[in-house]
A = this chain, B = another copy of it.
Amino acid sequence: MNDPAPSRAARLADVAELAGVSAATASRALNGSDRGVREVNRVRVLEAAKTLGYTTNFAAQAVAKGRSRGVTLVVKGMPDDFANPITAGVVAAAQRRGLPFTLISAGTDPADLVEAVNLARGHRPEILMIAGGRTKDDATLPALVEALQRYEAEGGRVVLVTQEGLPFDTVAYANRQGGYDMATALVGLGYRHFAVISGLKHGLTQRDRTEGFAAGLADAGIELSADRVLIGEFDRDAAYALTGELLRRNIAVDAIFAVNDAMALGVLTFLRDSGDPKRIAVAGFDDIKALRDVTPALTTVRLPWEQVADEALALALGPRGDEPRTTVVKGHVIVRESTPPVTH
Protein backbone atom coordinates (compact mmCIF):
# COMPACT_ATOMS: atom_id res chain seq x y z
CA MET A 1 0.00 0.00 0.00
CA ASN A 2 2.82 2.38 0.73
CA ASP A 3 5.66 2.67 -1.68
CA PRO A 4 8.81 2.33 0.32
CA ALA A 5 10.99 4.11 -2.21
CA PRO A 6 10.01 7.77 -2.47
CA SER A 7 9.04 7.54 -6.10
CA ARG A 8 9.29 10.54 -8.34
CA ALA A 9 6.36 12.28 -9.89
CA ALA A 10 5.45 11.06 -13.34
CA ARG A 11 6.89 13.27 -16.03
CA LEU A 12 5.67 14.03 -19.46
CA ALA A 13 8.39 11.76 -20.81
CA ASP A 14 7.01 8.85 -18.79
CA VAL A 15 3.57 9.40 -20.19
CA ALA A 16 4.96 9.65 -23.69
CA GLU A 17 6.90 6.44 -23.28
CA LEU A 18 3.93 4.53 -21.94
CA ALA A 19 1.81 5.84 -24.76
CA GLY A 20 4.43 5.01 -27.32
CA VAL A 21 4.80 8.52 -28.66
CA SER A 22 7.30 11.30 -28.35
CA ALA A 23 7.27 13.83 -25.57
CA ALA A 24 6.32 16.50 -28.05
CA THR A 25 3.20 14.64 -29.03
CA ALA A 26 2.28 13.98 -25.44
CA SER A 27 2.72 17.65 -24.70
CA ARG A 28 0.46 18.62 -27.54
CA ALA A 29 -2.17 16.13 -26.53
CA LEU A 30 -2.16 17.24 -22.93
CA ASN A 31 -1.68 20.98 -23.08
CA GLY A 32 -0.98 22.14 -26.62
CA SER A 33 -3.41 24.51 -28.22
CA ASP A 34 -3.12 22.92 -31.64
CA ARG A 35 -5.33 20.10 -32.66
CA GLY A 36 -2.36 18.50 -34.35
CA VAL A 37 -2.64 15.06 -32.79
CA ARG A 38 -4.29 12.00 -34.20
CA GLU A 39 -7.26 10.85 -32.18
CA VAL A 40 -5.69 7.46 -31.50
CA ASN A 41 -2.66 9.05 -29.97
CA ARG A 42 -4.63 11.59 -28.05
CA VAL A 43 -6.55 8.84 -26.36
CA ARG A 44 -3.45 6.80 -25.69
CA VAL A 45 -1.68 9.73 -24.11
CA LEU A 46 -4.65 10.63 -21.96
CA GLU A 47 -4.92 7.09 -20.75
CA ALA A 48 -1.25 6.83 -20.02
CA ALA A 49 -1.43 10.05 -18.07
CA LYS A 50 -4.30 8.71 -16.07
CA THR A 51 -2.73 5.40 -15.15
CA LEU A 52 0.47 7.16 -14.20
CA GLY A 53 -1.35 9.78 -12.16
CA TYR A 54 0.39 12.42 -14.18
CA THR A 55 -0.02 16.06 -13.30
CA THR A 56 1.38 18.83 -15.39
CA ASN A 57 4.35 20.36 -13.65
CA PHE A 58 3.26 23.97 -13.76
CA ALA A 59 6.61 25.24 -12.68
CA ALA A 60 8.33 23.60 -15.61
CA GLN A 61 5.58 24.75 -17.88
CA ALA A 62 6.02 28.27 -16.63
CA VAL A 63 9.75 28.15 -17.19
CA ALA A 64 9.33 26.91 -20.71
CA LYS A 65 6.62 29.38 -21.57
CA GLY A 66 8.14 32.24 -19.66
CA ARG A 67 4.90 32.96 -17.87
CA SER A 68 2.46 31.07 -15.75
CA ARG A 69 -1.23 30.90 -16.29
CA GLY A 70 -3.58 32.59 -13.95
CA VAL A 71 -4.24 35.51 -11.69
CA THR A 72 -2.26 36.47 -8.67
CA LEU A 73 -4.00 38.78 -6.28
CA VAL A 74 -2.06 40.79 -3.75
CA VAL A 75 -4.12 42.06 -0.86
CA LYS A 76 -3.12 44.27 1.99
CA GLY A 77 -3.42 42.61 5.31
CA MET A 78 -5.50 39.53 5.66
CA PRO A 79 -8.67 38.81 3.80
CA ASP A 80 -10.56 38.61 7.05
CA ASP A 81 -14.21 38.17 7.66
CA PHE A 82 -15.12 41.69 6.76
CA ALA A 83 -12.51 43.34 4.77
CA ASN A 84 -12.35 41.62 1.51
CA PRO A 85 -15.38 41.08 -0.59
CA ILE A 86 -12.93 41.84 -3.37
CA THR A 87 -11.03 38.66 -2.73
CA ALA A 88 -14.13 36.55 -2.84
CA GLY A 89 -15.21 38.27 -6.00
CA VAL A 90 -11.93 37.66 -7.74
CA VAL A 91 -11.79 34.04 -6.67
CA ALA A 92 -15.22 33.52 -8.14
CA ALA A 93 -14.50 35.43 -11.32
CA ALA A 94 -11.25 33.59 -11.89
CA GLN A 95 -12.92 30.27 -11.27
CA ARG A 96 -15.61 31.12 -13.73
CA ARG A 97 -13.01 31.63 -16.40
CA GLY A 98 -10.97 28.64 -15.44
CA LEU A 99 -8.01 30.70 -14.36
CA PRO A 100 -5.82 29.41 -11.57
CA PHE A 101 -5.95 31.80 -8.69
CA THR A 102 -3.21 32.65 -6.27
CA LEU A 103 -3.46 34.87 -3.26
CA ILE A 104 -0.60 36.70 -1.65
CA SER A 105 -1.34 38.70 1.43
CA ALA A 106 0.96 41.52 2.32
CA GLY A 107 1.48 42.96 5.74
CA THR A 108 -0.26 46.20 6.58
CA ASP A 109 2.86 48.31 6.21
CA PRO A 110 3.22 50.06 2.83
CA ALA A 111 6.70 48.61 2.42
CA ASP A 112 5.23 45.13 2.81
CA LEU A 113 3.14 45.78 -0.25
CA VAL A 114 6.17 46.35 -2.42
CA GLU A 115 7.74 43.23 -1.06
CA ALA A 116 4.61 41.21 -1.73
CA VAL A 117 4.42 42.53 -5.25
CA ASN A 118 7.98 41.48 -5.90
CA LEU A 119 7.17 38.08 -4.51
CA ALA A 120 4.23 37.91 -6.86
CA ARG A 121 6.41 38.97 -9.75
CA GLY A 122 8.54 35.97 -9.05
CA HIS A 123 5.67 33.74 -10.00
CA ARG A 124 5.45 35.44 -13.39
CA PRO A 125 1.66 35.24 -13.55
CA GLU A 126 -0.05 36.56 -16.62
CA ILE A 127 -2.21 38.78 -14.46
CA LEU A 128 -1.21 40.60 -11.33
CA MET A 129 -3.99 42.25 -9.39
CA ILE A 130 -3.57 44.51 -6.44
CA ALA A 131 -6.44 45.23 -4.14
CA GLY A 132 -6.71 47.81 -1.48
CA GLY A 133 -6.78 51.53 -1.17
CA ARG A 134 -3.84 53.73 -1.83
CA THR A 135 -2.44 56.07 0.75
CA LYS A 136 -1.32 59.59 0.24
CA ASP A 137 2.26 60.67 0.71
CA ASP A 138 3.37 57.10 0.57
CA ALA A 139 7.14 57.02 0.40
CA THR A 140 7.16 53.54 -1.05
CA LEU A 141 4.94 54.49 -3.94
CA PRO A 142 7.75 55.04 -6.45
CA ALA A 143 9.15 51.63 -5.64
CA LEU A 144 5.74 50.08 -6.13
CA VAL A 145 5.19 51.80 -9.42
CA GLU A 146 8.62 50.83 -10.62
CA ALA A 147 8.11 47.19 -9.74
CA LEU A 148 4.80 47.15 -11.54
CA GLN A 149 6.11 48.94 -14.57
CA ARG A 150 8.93 46.47 -14.81
CA TYR A 151 6.41 43.74 -14.61
CA GLU A 152 4.39 45.15 -17.44
CA ALA A 153 7.51 45.69 -19.50
CA GLU A 154 8.23 42.01 -19.01
CA GLY A 155 4.92 41.23 -20.60
CA GLY A 156 2.66 40.81 -17.59
CA ARG A 157 -0.65 42.53 -17.07
CA VAL A 158 -1.35 44.66 -14.06
CA VAL A 159 -4.74 45.66 -12.74
CA LEU A 160 -5.33 47.77 -9.71
CA VAL A 161 -8.53 47.59 -7.77
CA THR A 162 -9.11 50.77 -5.86
CA GLN A 163 -5.56 52.13 -6.11
CA GLU A 164 -6.64 55.07 -8.17
CA GLY A 165 -4.40 57.49 -9.94
CA LEU A 166 -1.51 55.22 -10.78
CA PRO A 167 -0.46 54.60 -14.37
CA PHE A 168 -2.06 51.17 -14.68
CA ASP A 169 -5.39 49.76 -15.63
CA THR A 170 -7.64 50.36 -12.69
CA VAL A 171 -11.05 49.54 -11.37
CA ALA A 172 -12.07 52.20 -8.92
CA TYR A 173 -15.15 52.88 -6.88
CA ALA A 174 -17.01 56.13 -7.04
CA ASN A 175 -16.16 56.83 -3.42
CA ARG A 176 -16.76 60.54 -3.50
CA GLN A 177 -20.05 60.13 -5.28
CA GLY A 178 -21.13 57.44 -2.84
CA GLY A 179 -20.36 59.66 0.10
CA TYR A 180 -22.21 62.52 -1.53
CA ASP A 181 -25.26 60.40 -2.22
CA MET A 182 -25.30 59.10 1.30
CA ALA A 183 -25.26 62.61 2.69
CA THR A 184 -28.12 63.57 0.42
CA ALA A 185 -30.10 60.52 1.43
CA LEU A 186 -29.61 61.09 5.13
CA VAL A 187 -30.56 64.73 4.89
CA GLY A 188 -33.59 63.66 2.93
CA LEU A 189 -34.56 61.37 5.78
CA GLY A 190 -34.52 64.33 8.10
CA TYR A 191 -31.14 64.13 9.82
CA ARG A 192 -29.29 67.31 10.53
CA HIS A 193 -26.46 66.66 12.98
CA PHE A 194 -23.75 64.44 11.61
CA ALA A 195 -20.51 62.85 12.57
CA VAL A 196 -18.14 60.79 10.47
CA ILE A 197 -16.05 57.88 11.64
CA SER A 198 -13.19 57.66 9.22
CA GLY A 199 -9.94 55.82 8.71
CA LEU A 200 -6.27 56.64 8.58
CA LYS A 201 -5.55 60.20 7.60
CA HIS A 202 -3.74 59.21 4.46
CA GLY A 203 -6.13 56.64 3.13
CA LEU A 204 -7.51 57.92 -0.13
CA THR A 205 -10.60 55.75 -0.06
CA GLN A 206 -11.80 57.04 3.24
CA ARG A 207 -10.76 60.57 2.39
CA ASP A 208 -12.87 60.56 -0.75
CA ARG A 209 -15.84 59.08 0.99
CA THR A 210 -15.57 61.61 3.74
CA GLU A 211 -15.12 64.52 1.37
CA GLY A 212 -18.02 63.41 -0.74
CA PHE A 213 -20.15 63.19 2.35
CA ALA A 214 -19.11 66.65 3.47
CA ALA A 215 -19.81 68.03 0.03
CA GLY A 216 -23.25 66.48 0.06
CA LEU A 217 -23.99 68.07 3.39
CA ALA A 218 -22.64 71.40 2.22
CA ASP A 219 -24.96 71.36 -0.76
CA ALA A 220 -27.77 70.87 1.70
CA GLY A 221 -26.57 73.81 3.71
CA ILE A 222 -25.02 71.81 6.52
CA GLU A 223 -21.46 72.26 7.55
CA LEU A 224 -19.42 69.34 8.80
CA SER A 225 -16.99 70.84 11.29
CA ALA A 226 -13.63 69.20 11.85
CA ASP A 227 -14.43 68.04 15.37
CA ARG A 228 -17.18 65.89 13.92
CA VAL A 229 -14.80 63.81 11.87
CA LEU A 230 -13.04 61.16 13.94
CA ILE A 231 -10.08 59.32 12.56
CA GLY A 232 -8.43 56.04 13.46
CA GLU A 233 -7.54 52.72 11.93
CA PHE A 234 -9.66 51.54 9.05
CA ASP A 235 -11.35 48.73 10.94
CA ARG A 236 -14.16 47.70 13.20
CA ASP A 237 -12.34 47.87 16.51
CA ALA A 238 -11.08 51.37 15.87
CA ALA A 239 -14.59 52.47 15.00
CA TYR A 240 -15.90 50.95 18.19
CA ALA A 241 -13.41 52.97 20.20
CA LEU A 242 -13.90 56.16 18.22
CA THR A 243 -17.61 56.07 18.81
CA GLY A 244 -16.94 56.11 22.51
CA GLU A 245 -14.75 59.14 22.05
CA LEU A 246 -17.36 60.85 19.95
CA LEU A 247 -20.06 60.44 22.58
CA ARG A 248 -17.74 61.71 25.24
CA ARG A 249 -17.32 64.93 23.31
CA ASN A 250 -20.94 65.53 23.95
CA ILE A 251 -21.85 67.21 20.72
CA ALA A 252 -25.29 66.88 19.23
CA VAL A 253 -25.31 64.02 16.76
CA ASP A 254 -28.28 62.28 15.24
CA ALA A 255 -26.51 60.29 12.55
CA ILE A 256 -23.08 58.74 12.16
CA PHE A 257 -21.58 57.91 8.80
CA ALA A 258 -18.87 55.29 8.99
CA VAL A 259 -16.69 55.10 5.89
CA ASN A 260 -17.03 51.37 5.62
CA ASP A 261 -19.36 48.67 6.86
CA ALA A 262 -16.86 47.00 9.14
CA MET A 263 -16.52 50.31 10.93
CA ALA A 264 -20.25 50.85 10.88
CA LEU A 265 -20.64 47.56 12.68
CA GLY A 266 -18.21 48.74 15.29
CA VAL A 267 -20.24 51.90 15.73
CA LEU A 268 -23.48 49.98 15.94
CA THR A 269 -22.14 47.57 18.49
CA PHE A 270 -20.75 50.34 20.61
CA LEU A 271 -24.06 52.15 20.62
CA ARG A 272 -25.79 48.96 21.60
CA ASP A 273 -23.29 48.16 24.30
CA SER A 274 -23.67 51.62 25.70
CA GLY A 275 -27.39 51.43 26.12
CA ASP A 276 -29.62 53.03 23.56
CA PRO A 277 -28.83 51.89 20.04
CA LYS A 278 -31.70 53.71 18.41
CA ARG A 279 -30.77 57.14 19.62
CA ILE A 280 -28.30 57.68 16.80
CA ALA A 281 -28.67 56.57 13.22
CA VAL A 282 -25.80 54.71 11.55
CA ALA A 283 -24.80 54.33 7.93
CA GLY A 284 -21.92 52.49 6.31
CA PHE A 285 -20.35 51.87 2.95
CA ASP A 286 -19.74 48.66 0.93
CA ASP A 287 -22.71 46.43 1.71
CA ILE A 288 -20.76 43.43 2.89
CA LYS A 289 -22.59 40.19 3.46
CA ALA A 290 -22.29 40.23 7.21
CA LEU A 291 -24.78 43.07 7.33
CA ARG A 292 -27.67 40.77 6.67
CA ASP A 293 -27.71 39.39 10.16
CA VAL A 294 -27.34 42.56 12.07
CA THR A 295 -29.99 44.63 13.83
CA PRO A 296 -30.94 47.17 13.01
CA ALA A 297 -30.31 46.44 9.34
CA LEU A 298 -27.64 48.83 8.19
CA THR A 299 -28.09 51.60 5.68
CA THR A 300 -25.13 51.61 3.34
CA VAL A 301 -23.74 52.29 -0.11
CA ARG A 302 -23.86 49.06 -2.02
CA LEU A 303 -20.88 48.29 -4.19
CA PRO A 304 -21.38 45.63 -6.87
CA TRP A 305 -18.51 43.34 -5.93
CA GLU A 306 -19.05 40.70 -8.54
CA GLN A 307 -18.96 43.37 -11.18
CA VAL A 308 -15.78 44.88 -9.75
CA ALA A 309 -13.92 41.60 -10.01
CA ASP A 310 -15.30 40.93 -13.43
CA GLU A 311 -14.34 44.33 -14.80
CA ALA A 312 -10.88 43.88 -13.42
CA LEU A 313 -10.42 40.55 -15.12
CA ALA A 314 -11.91 41.87 -18.31
CA LEU A 315 -9.40 44.70 -18.35
CA ALA A 316 -6.55 42.28 -17.80
CA LEU A 317 -7.68 39.80 -20.40
CA GLY A 318 -8.58 42.34 -23.03
CA PRO A 319 -6.13 43.98 -25.38
CA ARG A 320 -3.48 46.11 -23.81
CA GLY A 321 -4.44 49.75 -24.04
CA ASP A 322 -2.11 52.52 -25.11
CA GLU A 323 -3.05 54.47 -22.05
CA PRO A 324 -3.91 53.15 -18.62
CA ARG A 325 -7.67 52.80 -18.44
CA THR A 326 -9.81 53.38 -15.42
CA THR A 327 -13.20 51.84 -14.94
CA VAL A 328 -15.23 53.49 -12.25
CA VAL A 329 -17.82 51.34 -10.56
CA LYS A 330 -20.65 53.18 -8.95
CA GLY A 331 -22.46 52.19 -5.80
CA HIS A 332 -25.92 53.20 -4.72
CA VAL A 333 -27.46 54.02 -1.40
CA ILE A 334 -29.60 51.42 0.26
CA VAL A 335 -31.68 52.71 3.09
CA ARG A 336 -32.44 50.28 5.87
CA GLU A 337 -33.64 50.40 9.44
CA SER A 338 -30.55 51.91 10.96
CA THR A 339 -31.58 55.26 9.53
CA PRO A 340 -35.33 55.58 10.00
CA PRO A 341 -37.01 58.74 8.71
CA VAL A 342 -37.04 61.57 11.19
CA THR A 343 -40.02 63.76 11.78
CA HIS A 344 -39.19 67.23 12.96
Q: Which residues of A contact B (CB under 8 A)?
A: 2-3, 6-9, 53, 55-63, 68, 78-82, 85, 87-88, 91-92, 95, 100-105, 107, 118-119, 121-124, 146-147, 149-150, 153-155, 236, 265-266, 268-269, 272, 288-290, 292-295
Contacts of A53 in B (CB 8 A): 146-147, 150
| Alpha-carbon distance between A317 and B101 when the two chains are bound, in angstroms | 24
Q: A59-B68, A101-B104, A105-B91 are in contact. Are A153 and B80 (CB under 8 A)?
A: no
A103 touches B103 (CB 8 A): yes
Q: A95-B105, A146-B53, A289-B80 are in contact. Are A122 and B58 (CB under 8 A)?
A: yes
Contacts of A121 in B (CB 8 A): 9, 55
A7 touches B88 (CB 8 A): no
Give the residue of B57, B60, B61, B155 whose beta carbon is less than 8 angstroms from that of A6: B155
A122 touches B294 (CB 8 A): no
Q: A53-B150, A147-B53 are in contact. Are A107 and B95 (CB under 8 A)?
A: yes
Could you tell me the distance in whole angstroms from the C-beta of A185 to the nearest C-beta in chain B? 22
A153 touches B6 (CB 8 A): yes
Could you tell me the distance in whole angstroms from the C-beta of A169 to the nearest C-beta in chain B? 14
A-B contact pairs, 6 of them (CB 8 A): A7-B153, A59-B68, A59-B124, A79-B91, A290-B293, A295-B295
Could you tell me the distance in whole angstroms from the C-beta of A104 to the nearest C-beta in chain B? 7
Give the 9 A-B residue pairs with the shortest CB-CB distance, closest first: A59-B62, A265-B293, A9-B154, A81-B289, A58-B122, A55-B121, A59-B59, A103-B103, A55-B122
